[in-house]
Structure 1
C-alpha cells in the first residue's frame, strides 16, 4: 500500500484552487496578526503604568493610560473585523471553483466509474467536504498561523519580562506539542472513517428516497429503517470516538495552562518578594499570559479542523485523481458527410476488474449496419445485447477490436461529435428535473418547435399537452411523477429529436401497452426509413421493424439474416422468438396513458 502523504503535503494540493484567493487570505492573516500584536502591547502599557506613575503615587497618568488602552482595544477590534472582511468571500470562490471542477470531472468520467462509486459518497464530497475546506481557508488556516506566531512572539515578551518565568512557561507547554503529534495520527484515521461513513449514510438515504415506492409496495420500510439505524449508530460511534480524541487534547490544553499559571504565579510572587521582579513586571507577565491563553487553547480545535480538512482534501482528490479511460484523441477526426454505416469489427469487451477466468462479455462480434438499415438484436438474457449497444456511444470502450462509423474508428472522434451522430434511448428511461421541452430537446438544444412537435408525435407522447403547463411543465425528480410508459415515450422522443445518423434503441417500448406500441412503431418507420438503427428487441413486434436480425449467443453474433430466413434455418432463433412470444402473452402490469 502506498504511503499516504503528510497532512501538509495533502492540504498543499488545495493551493491550485486557493492561489487566486491567497492575496486576500494573506492580508487577512496580516490583519489578524496585527490585532494579536496590539493585544500583546496592552500588558506593556500596564507595566509602564504600574512601575512608573502608580508606584510614584501619580494618579494623573491613569487617564491617558486608559485612553491608550481603549485605543489599542479599538484598533484590535478593527483588525479582527478587517480580517473577517478579507477572508470570508475568497473562501466561497475557492469552494465554487472546486465544486465546479468536481462536477465537471464527474460528467467526464466514464460510466464504469459511476458503476463503482455510490452517489452518496460523491454527494458528501461535493457538499460537506468542500464546505469544510472553505471554512478552513477562511478561518482555520488564518487563525492557526496567526496564533502560532502570536504564541512565539508572546513567549519572547514573557522571557523579556522574566527569563525564569518565561522558560518555565515554555517548558510547561512542551507536553502540548507532544500530544499534538500523537493527536494527529489518532484523529486523522477516525476523521476519515467518519466522513466515509457519512457518505455511505447519504447513499442509503438517497436510495431509500428514490426507491420509496418499492419499499412501501413490499412493506420493507421497517427493514430500511433498521438498516439506516445500524449505519447511523456506526457513524454515531465514530463521532463519539472523534469527540473523545478532541476531548483528550482539550484536557491537556486546559489543564497544562492552569498548572503553568499556578506555577508561574507562585514563582512570580517569590521573585517579587525577593525584589528580583517588580510589581509591574508581574502584572505584565500575567496579562501577557492571559492574552496567550486563547491562542494556546485554540490550537486543539484548529488542529482538529486542519486534520478534518486534510481528510476532506484526500476525499476530493480521490475522485479528481481518477483516470479517465475514455478520452478524446489529441487530434480528433471528423465525419464530413455522415451516412450512418456502423461496423463492429472483431469487437471484444470485458470489465477491467473481471477475473481472467471469466470469458469476455462481448467475444469477437463482427456486424455491419448499412446506411438507413434497421438491425434488430435478439438473444436470451445475458447474451450481451445491451452491452453491445453501450459500446457504440463509448459509454464503455471496447477492449479488443474496433467500432467504425462511416469508416472512422469512433475512438478517433471526439466524444461530443460521436454523440451527435449516434443517439441512444434506454429501456430504463431517465428524465431530469426540468421542463418537458428541455428533457426532449436535450440532444438538440437549439432545435425548433416543429422538430420538438415531430419528435413527440413519433413517440406518441401527446399526453404532454395535457400536463398543467404543457411543454413547460417541470417533470419531477427522475420523472417519477410519470408512468413508466410516459417516461419511455419522452426518452424515445429525446433520441428522435437529436436527429442522429445512427439511432440505438435498447428495448425502448417495453413499458408501452399493445395499442400505443403499435402507434409508436408505425411512426418510427418514417424515422427508420432514413436513419440507421440498432434495436434491442424483446418483442416479436419490435423485430418486425427490422430489415435484418442479428442473433446474439454467449457474447457473439451467431447469425444475421431476415426474420423469415432465421426462422427457417435456426432452431435457436426459433427458441428465442418463442420466448419473446411468451413475454408478449404475459399479462401487462401497467397500461400507460
Structure 2
C-alpha cells in the first residue's frame, strides 16, 4: 500500500492561503491578537526613546528627582508590554483550537466519504500523522508562528526606520550588515522546505509501521519475527533521524547568520558611533539609545529563522492535509436521487464489468460481463475457485466500488441513481474478515440501526433476535454482558466470535438485500449448522447473496451461481449444477476436501 504521488507544491503563500476559508470565522480575534502583539513590540521600542531622555536629562544634570520619573515611565512601558503579551495569548488561543477542531472534523468526514479505493492506496499511518501531527502543528503556527512572524517583521521595519533618527550613518551600517539575512533566508527556504516534507512523510511511514506491528503482534510472536520487525522499524526510524538532523543543520545554518550578522553590525556601529561622538556629530545619550533600540530588535531578527522554518513546516502540513481533501471522490450521490419506497429486494447484475484502478491495461477485467438476477426473497449462493472474483462481486451492490461497465440494479433501479444513505439502508453486508469497533457489543450490533433509540425496548428486541440468529449468546458471559466494551477491533474475542457479532450486525440492519461474504468461515461445524438453521428463518423474506466456501453453506441457498473467470457460467439448484456442470463438480469437490480437513482438525482439538 502506498500513498498518492504528491502534486507539485504551491508557493508558501498560496499553500497557506488554502486555510483561509476555515480560518475566516476567527480572523477578527486573530487580528486582535496580532494588534496586541504589535502594540507590545511598539511599547518595547519606546523604552530606548525614554532612556535617551533620561540619560540626556537627569543623569547628565544629576537631578535624582527626574531620574525617578524616568524609571517610573520605563516600568509603566514594561507592564503595558506584558499586558499586551497576555492579551495576545488570550485572543488567539481559542480561535486557533477552533480552527484545528473544524479542520480535524472536516478531515475525518472526508475520510468517511472517500471510496474504499482511496483507502486501498493510502497507508493508515500517513492519514493518522496528517490528522494528528500536522493539524496540531498548524494550530501552534496559527496561534504563535504566523502572528509573531508578521509582528516581528513589522517591528524590524519600524525599528530600522527609528535607527535613522539618531544618525543616518549608523542606520545605514546596521541595515547593510543585516541585509544578508534575506539571502540566507531564501537559501534556507529551498533546502528546509524539501526536508520538512520528507520528514513528515517519513513520520507517517513510521506511524504505519507501529500500527501494523501492534495489530499483527500475535503473528509476529507466533513466528518469532519480533526482531525482524524491530530491524525494519529501526531502519525507518534511522531514516527519519537523518532527515531531522538535516533539518537541524539547516536551522543551525540560518541561526549562524542570524546571530553573527547583528553582532557584526553592533561592532561596526559601535566604532562608527565613537567616531561620530569624537567629531561632535552624536551625543553619548543618542549612541546609548541607538544600541538599546538595536538590542530590542535583536530578538525579532533572531526569531525570523525559527519562525521561517515554522512557517515552512506549516506549509508542508497544509499541503499534506489538502492532498486528502483534493482526492477525487468517485462514489457520490446522484444530483437527483431516485427512491424506492418499498423495496422488494430484486438484485440484478446486468453485464457487469469491474477492474481495479491499478490493473495493467493488458489484464482482463476481474469481473468480465457477469449476468445474474436474484428474485425477491431468494437466497443465492455464489461459488467459484479462489481468484474468480466472488468477493469483488459482493462489493458492487452496496457501491463500495463502482462497476466499470454494465449496471447493478435494485428493483430495476441502477444503484448509482440512489443516494448512498438509502442504498445502504436497503443493502446490508457481512464480511469474512469481521471488523469490530472499540465500543460495546450493543453498539457494534446495532451500528446500522440509526432509527432505534439505544436502550429502548424495540432496540433490545432487535439486539436479542440478531444475537440469537448469529448464535452469539456468548456475549452474556462477558463481564458487562452486551454493555461490555470489546476492545480494539475485537481482538480480545476469537475469530468465530467476531464473525458471529459481524453477522448479527448485518441481520440487525434488516436490509432488503443481504450480502454475506463467507461470514461463517471461522465457525466450527456444529455452530455453523445452528447459525444456518437460524438464518433460514431470517432469510425467508430477505434476498441474500452468500459467498460459499463450504458445501454446507450451499444448502442455505435456493439456487447457486457459478462464477468462473469473472463470468457467471451456470445458475441452478445444487443438484442441477452437479448434474450439468463439470466445473461446478470440480469446485464443490475442492470445497469438500477443505471441509474434510477442517473437520479433521476440529476432531484433534
Same fold (TM over 0.5): yes
- CA shift digits 1:437-473 (9 cap, x unpaired): 0000001131521111001000000100110000000
Structure 2 unmatched ranges of 5 or more: 1-5, 453-457
- 2:192 matched to 1:187? yes
**Cα displacement (A) at 1:64:** 0.4
Secondary structure of 1:529's aligned partner: helix
- In the alignment, the residues of structure 2 paired with residue 312 and residue 2 of structure 1 have an alpha-carbon distance, to the nearest angstrom, of 14
Secondary structure of 2:270's aligned partner: helix
- 2:317 matched to 1:312? yes
Structure 2 counterpart of 1:258: 263
**Cα displacement (A) at 1:89:** 1.1
Structure 1 counterpart of 2:533: 522
Cα pair 2:352 2:371 within 8 Å, conserved: yes
- In the alignment, the residues of structure 1 paired with residue 503 and residue 263 of structure 2 have an alpha-carbon distance, to the nearest angstrom, of 73
Paired residue for 2:33, among 7, 28, 32? 28
- In the alignment, the residues of structure 2 paired with residue 120 and residue 2 of structure 1 have an alpha-carbon distance, to the nearest angstrom, of 20
Structure 2 counterpart of 1:581: 592
**Cα displacement (A) at 1:61:** 1.0
**Cα displacement (A) at 1:353:** 2.3
Paired residue for 2:153, among 125, 132, 148? 148
- 2:279 matched to 1:268? no
- CA shift digits 1:344-393 (9 cap, x unpaired): 10100011222210100000011000000000000000001000000110
Q: How many residues align?
A: 592
Cα pair 1:511 1:590 within 8 Å, conserved: no
- In the alignment, the residues of structure 2 paired with residue 53 and residue 434 of structure 1 have an alpha-carbon distance, to the nearest angstrom, of 74
Give the 3 Å change call, closer, same or farther, for CA 2–451 of structure 1 in structure 2: closer
Paired residue for 1:496, among 479, 504, 507? 507
**Cα displacement (A) at 1:60:** 2.2
- In the alignment, the residues of structure 1 paired with residue 436 and residue 63 of structure 2 have an alpha-carbon distance, to the nearest angstrom, of 83
- 2:557 matched to 1:552? no
Structure 1 counterpart of 2:115: 110
Structure 2 counterpart of 1:287: 292
- 2:480 matched to 1:475? no
- 2:437 matched to 1:426? no
Secondary structure of 2:395's aligned partner: helix
**Cα displacement (A) at 1:264:** 0.8
Paired residue for 1:235, among 240, 245, 262? 240
Q: Which TM-score applies when normalising by structure 1?
A: 0.99
**Cα displacement (A) at 1:287:** 0.3
Secondary structure of 1:160's aligned partner: coil
Structure 2 counterpart of 1:465: 476
Structure 1 counterpart of 2:3: none
Structure 2 counterpart of 1:198: 203
Written as runs of structure 1 = structure 2, the 5 A alignment for 1:353-392 is: 353-392=358-397
Structure 1 counterpart of 2:22: 17
- In the alignment, the residues of structure 1 paired with residue 329 and residue 501 of structure 2 have an alpha-carbon distance, to the nearest angstrom, of 31
Secondary structure of 1:329's aligned partner: coil
**Cα displacement (A) at 1:55:** 2.4
**Cα displacement (A) at 1:590:** 7.1
Structure 2 counterpart of 1:484: 495
- In the alignment, the residues of structure 1 paired with residue 62 and residue 258 of structure 2 have an alpha-carbon distance, to the nearest angstrom, of 40
Secondary structure of 2:568's aligned partner: strand
Secondary structure of 1:187's aligned partner: helix
Secondary structure of 1:586's aligned partner: helix
Q: Which TM-score applies when normalising by structure 2?
A: 0.97
Secondary structure of 2:137's aligned partner: helix
Of residues 350-359 and 248-257 in structure 1, the stretch that sits farther from structure 2 once superposed is 350-359
RMSD: 1.2
Secondary structure of 1:392's aligned partner: coil
- In the alignment, the residues of structure 2 paired with residue 455 and residue 53 of structure 1 have an alpha-carbon distance, to the nearest angstrom, of 91
- In the alignment, the residues of structure 1 paired with residue 7 and residue 73 of structure 2 have an alpha-carbon distance, to the nearest angstrom, of 58
- In the alignment, the residues of structure 2 paired with residue 552 and residue 216 of structure 1 have an alpha-carbon distance, to the nearest angstrom, of 38
**Cα displacement (A) at 1:316:** 0.3
Structure 2 counterpart of 1:531: 542
Cα pair 1:31 1:80 within 8 Å, conserved: yes
Structure 2 counterpart of 1:393: 398
- In the alignment, the residues of structure 2 paired with residue 327 and residue 590 of structure 1 have an alpha-carbon distance, to the nearest angstrom, of 46
Structure 1 unmatched ranges of 5 or more: none
Secondary structure of 2:447's aligned partner: coil
Structure 2 counterpart of 1:226: 231
- Moved segments of 4+, more than 3 Å: 587-591
Paired residue for 1:160, among 136, 156, 165? 165
Cα pair 2:513 2:544 within 8 Å, conserved: yes
